[in-house]
Amino acid sequence: MKRELYDILCCPVCKGDLELVVKEENDVEILTGSLICHACSVTYPIEEGIPNLLPQNI
């Protein structure tokens, strides 16, 4: 995902802000990382460029 996409993402459950943690990034976009909702204590993965904001099994 491109960094500009981060501005329009939110927690799918509480709709709150997410913290972005980047593990792997190229010139164009973020390939691997996490989106963390601190309010819900849930980490959503970014894998192979695609953020996964489906409910996560804790």
Partner 1 sequence: MQRSQTSFHADPNQVYQPAEDSFLLLKTAKSEVKPSDRVLEIGVGSGYVSSGLLSSCQLLVATDKNPHAATIAYASGVPVVRTNLAAGLRGPFDLILFNPPYLPTDPSERIDDWLELALDGGPSGRDVIIRFLQEIPSLLSSEGRVLLLISSLTGPEEVEDLVRKNGFVSTPVAEERVEGGEILLILRLTRC
Contacting residues toward partner 1, per CB under 8 A: 1-2, 4-5, 7-13, 15, 44, 47-55
Residue among 15 and 57 whose Cβ is closer to partner 1: 15
Which amino acid makes up residue 31?
L
Minimum Å distance from CB 35 to partner 1?
8
Q: Give the tokens for residue 32.
A: 């691997």
Minimum Å distance from CB 44 to partner 1?
8
Q: Which residue has the tokens 């913290």?
A: 19
The sheet carrying 30-37 orders its strands as 19-25, 30-37, 42-47
